[in-house]
């Protein structure tokens, strides 16, 4: 049950709805100079994945006039639901606690109704802004709407869309420091360190410290990341010249993902992975642990008729972390326990640089095609704040339906046999 909060304040009502829906509803109400004006506030927003209901996927196939018509219709529908929420809150305050339950159904129904409308609107507005912003007939409210939606995009792993949105917004407001920082953070997340640092360094320090997201951990190591990636780029260039590393195509429920495997640094791990792929191990394996902004993990649970079953291998393989590659965005790494040499079939794909895993987990490949599909995987765990002085905890999202690998196929390999280098015990 959604709790009814006792406040007559319209400002607090809007603030509540920002928390509820994950983006500012101010542009749905009488127009105010909220969005494109410089913002230094740090509101609390939902950490739910930026998703859209299945019926909104067809919006991408609509003609421009149909998209604009649906955009305006969704605005009106959401205005109506916001009015019902506001009315229920106000009546609770005016009627008192004893009579407040008379408004409970109106409150809960309006909140339930607005969620799918909001999700469809976010997807449609983003599509319009990326693909049609310069076309005639696009609503004037679109930049304001997308400016508000960008906060939800920043919490997602739809990085290509997020970068496109932020670049367009910056063309409208080239001196907007909040947008510069937003774009810089996403560029850092996607290994575009030189561009990110140039953009972030253009923000005056006294302004930077007041901006939303200025406390992002990645900002503290951005110079180190740029230096480390310069070395990585030299390795990537040599690999491109040789053009002989093994490749595997993972056909997922979100589309194809092609990975290139670092056999030079992790031959045993790559040998095991190719062996499992060629024996059909990863067919119907789900991405059971997906955490926004961190990684998508798979390799142990297979989908069955009405649920999931554990599918494991009867051995472990050796770690290959000495002189190994680092964890940049879109890289593959072996999952394991705290014990050494405990990896097997489970691996994960990173959504951002995760240097704290370097030297602990074996990096054995990278996504070379389809990272946008990885970014659409269903989030299955949320990070919840722990008790005082304790780190955040992972919490399973019970309603999540995990994405999965439908098939896995080796599309290129070197001319030798690939077998697991199994851990042996004396």
DSSP 8-state code for residue 294: T
Does the pLDDT at position 22 exceed 70? no
* DSSP codes joined into one string, 31-90: --TTSSS----------------GGGGGGGGS-HHHHHHHHHHHHHHHHHHHHHHHHHHH
Chain CA centroid to CA 119, Å: 15
- pLDDT tens, residue by residue, 318-337: 999 999 999 999 999 999 99
| Domain boundaries, given as residue ranges, for the chain | 10-174, 244-412
- Taking residues 73-96, report their average pLDDT: 85
- Sheet strands (E) in 313-362: 331-334, 347-350
Q: Please tell me which residue, 27 or 107, carries the higher pLDDT value.
A: 107
Rounded to whole angstroms, the Cα distance separating 378 from 291 reads: 9
pLDDT at 53: 38
Task: Assign 97 to helix, strand or coil.
Answer: helix
Average pLDDT, the chain: 86
pLDDT tier, 97 (very low <50, low <70, confident <90, very high otherwise): low
Please, what is the Cα angle at 311 between 395 and 340, to 5 degrees? 75
- Taking residues 70-89, report their average pLDDT: 90
pLDDT at 312: 87
pLDDT at 91: 79
What class does CATH assign to 244-412?
mainly beta
Does the pLDDT at position 44 exceed 50? no
pLDDT at 349: 98
- pLDDT tens, residue by residue, 332-358: 999 999 999 999 999 999 999 999 999
pLDDT at 62: 85
Least confident of 98-107, 125-134, 184-193, 407-416: 98-107
Place of tokens 């394991």: 336
Rounded to whole angstroms, the Cα distance separating 409 from 224 reads: 36
pLDDT at 402: 96
pLDDT at 315: 96
pLDDT at 40: 28
pLDDT at 107: 83
Least confident of 236-240, 304-308, 393-397: 304-308
pLDDT at 9: 35
DSSP H or E segment with residue 276: helix 267-278
Residues 6+ apart with CB under 8 A from 421: 267, 268, 271, 272, 317, 318
Residues 6+ apart with CB under 8 A from 17: 25, 82, 85
Rounded to whole angstroms, the Cα distance separating 182 from 192 reads: 13
Q: Give which of 142, 149, 132 is closest to 65, Cα–Cα.
A: 132
Place of tokens 């607005």: 114
pLDDT at 98: 66
Structure-token pair, residue 71? 């955009």
DSSP H or E segment with residue 299: none
- pLDDT tens, residue by residue, 103-154: 778 888 888 999 999 999 999 999 999 999 999 999 999 999 999 999 999 9
DSSP H or E segment with residue 113: helix 104-132
Burial class (CB in 10 A: 0-12, 13-18, 19+), 395: exposed
Rounded to whole angstroms, the Cα distance separating 211 from 151 reads: 13
Pairing verdict, β 247-252 and 393-396? unpaired
pLDDT at 304: 81
């Amino acid at each position: 049950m959604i709790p009814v909060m006792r406040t007559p304040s319209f400002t607090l009502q809007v603030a509540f709805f920002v928390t509820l829906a994950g983006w500012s509803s101010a542009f749905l109400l009488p127009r105010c100079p909220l969005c494109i004006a410089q913002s230094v506030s740090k509101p609390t927003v939902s950490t739910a994945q930026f998703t859209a209901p299945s019926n909104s996927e067809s919006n991408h196939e609509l003609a421009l006039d149909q998209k604009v018509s649906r955009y305006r219709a969704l605005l009106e529908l959401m205005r109506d639901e916001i009015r019902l929420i506001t009315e229920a809150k106000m009546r609770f305050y005016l009627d008192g606690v004893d009579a407040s339950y008379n408004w409970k159904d109106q409150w809960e129904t309006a909140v339930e109704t607005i969620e799918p409308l909001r999700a469809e609107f976010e997807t449609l507005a983003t599509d319009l802004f990326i693909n049609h912003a310069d076309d005639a007939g696009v609503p004037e409210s679109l930049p304001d709407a997308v400016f508000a939606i960008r906060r939800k995009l920043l919490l997602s792993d739809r990085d290509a869309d997020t970068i496109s949105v932020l670049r367009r917004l910056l063309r409208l407001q080239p001196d907007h420091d909040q947008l510069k920082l937003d774009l810089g953070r996403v560029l850092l997340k996607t290994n575009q360190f030189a561009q990110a640092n140039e953009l972030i360094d253009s923000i005056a320090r006294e302004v930077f410290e007041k901006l939303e997201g200025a406390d992002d951990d990645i900002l503290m190591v951005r110079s180190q990341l740029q230096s480390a990636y310069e070395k990585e780029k030299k390795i990537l260039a040599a690999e491109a010249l040789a053009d002989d590393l093994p490749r595997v195509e993972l056909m997922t429920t979100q589309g194809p993902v092609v990975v290139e495997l670092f056999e030079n640094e992790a031959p045993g791990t790559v040998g095991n992975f190719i062996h499992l792929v060629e024996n059909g191990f990863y067919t119907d394996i789900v991405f059971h642990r997906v955490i926004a902004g961190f990684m998508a993990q798979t390799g142990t649970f297979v989908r069955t008729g009405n649920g999931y079953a554990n599918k494991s291998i009867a051995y472990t393989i050796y770690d290959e972390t000495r002189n190994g590659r680092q964890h940049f965005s879109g890289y593959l790494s072996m999952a394991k326990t705290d014990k050494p040499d405990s990896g097997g079939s489970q691996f994960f794909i990173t959504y951002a640089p995760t240097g704290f895993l370097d030297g602990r987990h074996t990096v054995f490949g990278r996504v070379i095609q389809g990272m946008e599909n990885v970014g659409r995987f269903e989030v299955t765990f949320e990070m919840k704040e722990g008790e005082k002085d304790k780190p955040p905890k992972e919490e399973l999202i019970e309603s999540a339906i995990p994405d999965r690998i439908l098939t896995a196929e080796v599309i290129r390999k070197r001319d030798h046999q690939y077998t697991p280098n199994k851990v042996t015990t004396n």
